[in-house]
A and B are shown apart, each in its own frame.
Chain A
Amino acid sequence: MQHVTTHRTGGIIAQVLAGAWRTGGPPLEVEPEDLQRVAPLLHQTGTGALVWWRVRGTALADTETGDGFHQAYRLHTLEAEIHALRLNDVLCRLDAAGIDALLIKGWAIARRYPEVGLRPYTDLDLIIRPGQGEAAQGALAVPLALEGPVDVHDGPSRVDALGFEQLAERSEAVSLGDRLVRILGAEDHLRLLALHALRHGVFRPIWLIDLAVCVEGRSSGFDWERCLGPVPRQREWVIDAIALAARLLGAHVEDTPAAGRAGTLPDWLIRAVLRNWARGTGTSHLEPVFDALLARLRSPRLAWAEARRRWDRPIEATLEVGGPFNHLPRWPFQMVAVARRTPEWREALRRPTAPRWRDPGARQTAPC
């Protein structure tokens, strides 16, 4: 019964968000009470503004639930302005320190939506040339005028198979006010977004919407070979992620390598995504499982619930093991994924003192 309810909640979310990114999309046909039921999940996972985009001008806009989406739209719109100022500050500092940076996710994808405020994000993700991490840390040591998380990846190895030089060579410069921002080429960015979504169990519907926006807005010269990348298994994963966007949200993927895949995706994969949407949270950004279980040792019930939650991540497990999204059961992948995390458990037991991301002795002036 629980499963049916969860599945249905995820299904309503999919229904609400289908085509929501398109200007003049189809009218939303959902019962007001259903919309009200999933509203907290939509807000929680950052799609409130998009829902407003879809319900404005309809009777749903005048409801209390609709007003909540309107508020989300207003807040996200303002946040987008603030992020642009922060991004400008960060890039100015990195420029001054002679650091090459490629912006990924966040603003780099939000700019492709009809309005940048429709796609909220929290932190700024930048890939820098390998070995420049320390210099970047120094450049960002003085608190930003508008504080916010900045994730600086020292080289792209954690997010992509290609090297920095290759990505930089294919990157493009786009305007942000008076500044030029280097973002990944459309093909590389789509691959990175697809793999990132899967790596986190696609628990945010916005990640599939990102893929839909990229695919539907691609240029005529879009190079699919370049997009899918050189690693065979990753090519399959990228196709499967795009197919998920088509299957669950109605993304137009005709004339793409994912065209025939949407109908053949395994049921467990669809169910896993809908289950994650119904939960509204993922496990990838939480504390490691060992710490989580340790903290709940006094309550076996909570510990058991946490253990079940951490086990139920078949998508992440498939990626961690390097497996395919086929129709075979997932438990072997999940078992291997758990076993592979053993070193993390050992690490947790002997974790050293707190890492520092800001050096208290760093210079106290910033160039920007």
Chain B
Amino acid sequence: MRQDSEQSRARTSGLVVKGVGEELLVYDLARHRAHSLNRVAAAVWRACDGTRGVAALGQAASRESGQAVPAEAVRYALQSLGRAQLLEGPVEEGGLTRREVMARLGTAAAVALPLVTTIIAPTAAQAQSPPPCLKENEGVCATAAQCCANGCGGANCVCVFSKDRFRCVRPTIGDPKQ
């Protein structure tokens, strides 16, 4: 449980961040998870410099997003960002649900609700993303049987033949060799 005296700080290392339109896409290189932050959630996240409390975060996020970000929305954002492991330190363990936040905020919630969505690959075969599952000295084999017998490095890994050798790879969107 985060203490009141602790202020939230956005994680900066091990992430790839890309702004697309009004959303911010974040890829966690350590956990291989991708997240989409809407404008309000992104504004709160960017404002998390380790010095601001909830009220100050709300003000900073309001300035950046151009819309009022009430304290309830900030708390919900911190909870969501924490669960997505995009904040440093312990995770905010509040039990706010989206429905509760919307009820408390009233009609303004529709525009001010911060959303952090984990991006799921569209089909099961398209696992989370790189890295491919080449294993040191085991990712390349003489035969498919040998390659796959070694486990190919984990879930969703497949053995493919490419350029005169077999390899264990984890397909991203689509097969290897695009």
Whether a CB of chain A sits under 8 angstroms from the CB of B134 is: yes
Given contacts A74-B20, A356-B140, contact A46 B161 (CB under 8 A): no
Evaluate contact between B120 and A71: CB separation under 8 angstroms: yes
Evaluate contact between B176 and A285: CB separation under 8 angstroms: yes
Evaluate contact between A285 and B161: CB separation under 8 angstroms: yes
Evaluate contact between B131 and A146: CB separation under 8 angstroms: yes
Number of A-B contacts (CB under 8 A): 152
Chain B contacts of A120 at CB under 8 A? 172-174, 178
Q: How large is the interface on A (under 10, 10 to 19, 20 to 34, 35 or more residues)?
A: 35 or more
Evaluate contact between B27 and A291: CB separation under 8 angstroms: no
A108 to chain B, nearest CB (A): 12
Q: Give A360 to B136 CA distance when docked, in angstroms.
A: 8
Chain B contacts of A162 at CB under 8 A? none
A273 to chain B, nearest CB (A): 17
Evaluate contact between B20 and A72: CB separation under 8 angstroms: no
Q: Give A348 to B146 CA distance when docked, in angstroms.
A: 13
Given contacts A43-B123, A78-B16, contact A147 B132 (CB under 8 A): yes
Select one of A74, A77, A122 contacting B178, CB under 8 A: A122
Whether a CB of chain A sits under 8 angstroms from the CB of B162 is: yes
Evaluate contact between A43 and B174: CB separation under 8 angstroms: yes
Given contacts A44-B125, A74-B34, A81-B18, contact A149 B173 (CB under 8 A): no
Evaluate contact between A287 and B144: CB separation under 8 angstroms: yes
Given contacts A351-B142, A352-B142, A354-B140, contact A75 B121 (CB under 8 A): yes
Enumerate chain A interface residues (CB-CB to B < 8 A): 39-40, 43-46, 48-49, 68-69, 71-72, 74-79, 81-82, 85, 105-106, 120-123, 143, 146-149, 151, 200, 204, 206, 281, 285-288, 291-292, 295, 348, 351-358, 360
Of the A-B pairs whose beta carbons lie under 8 Å apart in the complex, a sample of 12, sorted by A's number, is A40-B123, A43-B174, A44-B126, A46-B178, A75-B119, A77-B25, A122-B171, A204-B174, A354-B146, A355-B140, A355-B165, A356-B137
Q: Give 7 closest A-B pairs by Cβ, nearest first.
A: A147-B131, A46-B174, A68-B122, A287-B144, A78-B27, A121-B178, A287-B161
- A sample of 20 more A-B contacts (CB under 8 A), given A75-B119, A292-B144, is A46-B174, A49-B173, A71-B120, A74-B20, A75-B172, A77-B20, A78-B34, A78-B119, A122-B132, A122-B169, A147-B130, A147-B134, A149-B132, A204-B178, A285-B161, A351-B142, A354-B140, A354-B141, A355-B142, A358-B136
